[in-house]
Structure 1
């Protein structure tokens, strides 16, 4: 009975252990990522995106900090003074207490600062807007990078499979060539050619497998998984050509690219900085109030020798530095140069975006043409290899013919998958260049 009870408990413990997710690598191995899942996970895990969100928080705090400058500041001081002894002044007979406690409360309200406060606040608001734009820019870059890594991995998988198939085909042909040579049906050089080609194919397979492992590592790093975690992704072989004209792409980029919006905000900031540079052309006006309380005890509430324990005053101060040997004027010229630079940078960014769009458009169209050109040749290359194998077995073709046919087949398949996945990457880049990366995120190829 005790033995049965022990076995029952062990069985329960075994089930609990294996049902509890303590083996993350096994859980990761079972998950098959789609493109949409990859994009969502990349956005969730990306450190640059998290950092840009902290930039937003910092800019929001800076904006609130600048807004607080419009409000009055309040302060207080508490002072204790001890004299050597209590004494009476000879001139007016006023008694000076031995102990004196003084409390002073103050407030200061800026009334006019030469438009400095309002322009500083507007700059802080623009900085906040730029931080939000930067977050969106990073997000779109992550979306494109997820597309690129995903399709690069698919391409590496296909090329590795082609390399493995080439090794299998050439190995089978080498066996046939060996059998023929051993019975004297073919010369030795047929066998040697097959062996050399098999060695080359195995070397190509090693390269393809290494490229595949690198692509998997890039995928895992993008999603912040363990670098050697197993990767399973869903293949995407269907495609839809891009039908829009390049002028449409230019218009979309000028309308949607966040870099342009950010550069325009930088121009606005430079304009506000120029106004800040002119602040010293104006006087500043400040209102200040004080409340005083004095006494001979710690509560500062009057006492011997304290004639007026409570008092207050209000002061309005206007100040103006009207001559500083050209300091303000030179500062304004500096801000004018900064404004001109911001405008030049805006124009340069637009030019660079046009170039990015055109390169992406041409790469996409090139990949489209490559797909159309090579797709028709796939079945022909397969049939050519099959016929060459059959003719070799019938001694109607040479070993060189078979090896050439196999090389042609591998090259054709490689060209096709290169064209297919390069097209998908180029198209994703084109959408990013147009400022429409979110459409790729939504699965709108």
Structure 2
């Protein structure tokens, strides 16, 4: 767009042209005159033209003096579009930042989920060893041993899937970071439950309308549409140009630098279109329609932003409730597993009871991890919807 601005600005500057030509020509215009037959024969023969050379070079300058505001409007339009292009860059950066944050949280979830699955699998192995030892001591049945070993075998694919999830999440994050997909990117933190206290939808909507790049771009588009309308109205109006020329014109090459053969001109040209086939009215109608369309698009996006804010707030609240419920369930599931393991040692519980308790604790921890991930992503989406940086 900088080039476009330079192009439009050039219309307001003088246009200088250097020309040079060499011509050999013969002009029988006198012989075609209507009264040539009344001339004496000797004179008519003397008027028969012969071929001559004509050499000419010079410089001409043209400077617009008045264009009904067309050039000024075009300059303002180009400047507005340049401002809009910067907003487009901001929007692309914000969208990319959101995708990077979501990919990071995806990798963080995958790594923590793998740790959770590995811990659960280790717990199953310890129970299988305990069941084998109790069986060898004659205080457990072979069914207890088999159930424990089956639980260990069933957990192995979960660990493989968790490792695959890490590789996929890491590859996605590396893609957004412009790194090789197998680059060993690792996370360096845990999920943080940053509270969100702003619940006033109207205040949030006003902030989003000020900060969202899409709305800023559409406001610029409205200004652009207004300038386009002014530009359309400036079509087919009075135009005044100043012109000047200077050069040498001669039929002999030895006179090409002789000042006696200098030619020059200075003038002012006025152009006033009388009828343009309704071209100007057509351009104005298009500009008015475009102006209306841009305004309606801005109003539509404003409503979409409000709807997005409401959805983002609901997602944050839902994730918060999931976290609270999961934490309560984890405390209960840990207590149940401890009690079940103690009962098993004294023969008051079966291996099936242990597996059920382990599964319940694993589900509760998984729900908490998912809740933390969903909360982090929902909060990033909410920040993005407000036009803020999604990692705040």
Verify same fold: TM over 0.5. yes
What's the TM-score once normalised by structure 1's chain length? Answer: 0.78
User: Who is 1:401 aligned against?
Assistant: 353
Whole-angstrom distance in 2 between the partners of 1:323 and 1:125: 31
Note the alpha carbon deviations across 1:77-122, whole angstroms, 9 max, x for none: 01122469xxxx97999x9895432112111111222322112111
Note the alpha carbon deviations across 1:269-323, whole angstroms, 9 max, x for none: 11111222222352222221111212422772239xxxx5112112222222222
User: Who is 1:354 aligned against?
Assistant: 306
User: Who is 1:257 aligned against?
Assistant: 212
2:94 alignment partner, one of 123, 132, 140: 140
Whole-angstrom distance in 2 between the partners of 1:269 and 1:147: 34
Whole-angstrom distance in 1 between the partners of 2:317 and 2:206: 18
1:81 alignment partner, one of 23, 42, 46: 23
User: Who is 2:174 aligned against?
Assistant: 220
On the 8 A contact 1:81/1:100 being kept in 2, the answer is yes
User: Who is 1:37 aligned against?
Assistant: none
- Call closer, same or farther: CA 1:229–1:390 in 2, change over 3 Å: same
Q: Report 1:177-188 matches (<5 A).
A: 177-181=131-135, 185-188=139-142
Q: Report 1:113-124 matches (<5 A).
A: 113-124=67-78
Report how many residues are paired.
375
Q: Report 1:20-419 matches (<5 A).
A: 59-82=1-24, 98-181=52-135, 185-245=139-199, 246-295=201-250, 296-297=252-253, 300-302=256-258, 308-419=260-371
Secondary structure of the structure 2 residue equivalent to 1:165: helix
Whole-angstrom distance in 1 between the partners of 2:61 and 2:278: 34
Whole-angstrom distance in 2 between the partners of 1:298 and 1:210: 88
The Cα shift of 1:403 comes to: 0.6
User: Who is 1:38 aligned against?
Assistant: none
2:373 alignment partner, one of 415, 421, 434: 421
The Cα shift of 1:411 comes to: 0.9
- Call closer, same or farther: CA 1:182–1:129 in 2, change over 3 Å: same
Note the alpha carbon deviations across 1:226-253, whole angstroms, 9 max, x for none: 2112122211343221001133321210
The Cα shift of 1:138 comes to: 1.7
Whole-angstrom distance in 2 between the partners of 1:202 and 1:67: 70
- Call closer, same or farther: CA 1:352–1:82 in 2, change over 3 Å: same
Secondary structure of the structure 2 residue equivalent to 1:101: strand
Whole-angstrom distance in 2 between the partners of 1:190 and 1:248: 61
On the 8 A contact 2:205/2:309 being kept in 1, the answer is yes
- Call closer, same or farther: CA 1:299–1:169 in 2, change over 3 Å: farther
Whole-angstrom distance in 2 between the partners of 1:298 and 1:436: 76
Q: After the TM superposition, which of the residue ranges 222-231 and 336-345 deviates more from structure 2?
A: 222-231
Structure 1, gaps ≥5 residues long: 1-58
On the 8 A contact 2:255/2:261 being kept in 1, the answer is no
Whole-angstrom distance in 2 between the partners of 1:266 and 1:213: 43
Secondary structure of the structure 2 residue equivalent to 1:291: strand
User: Who is 1:9 aligned against?
Assistant: none
Whole-angstrom distance in 2 between the partners of 1:162 and 1:215: 17
Secondary structure of the structure 1 residue equivalent to 2:190: coil
Structure 2, gaps ≥5 residues long: 32-42
RMSD: 2.6
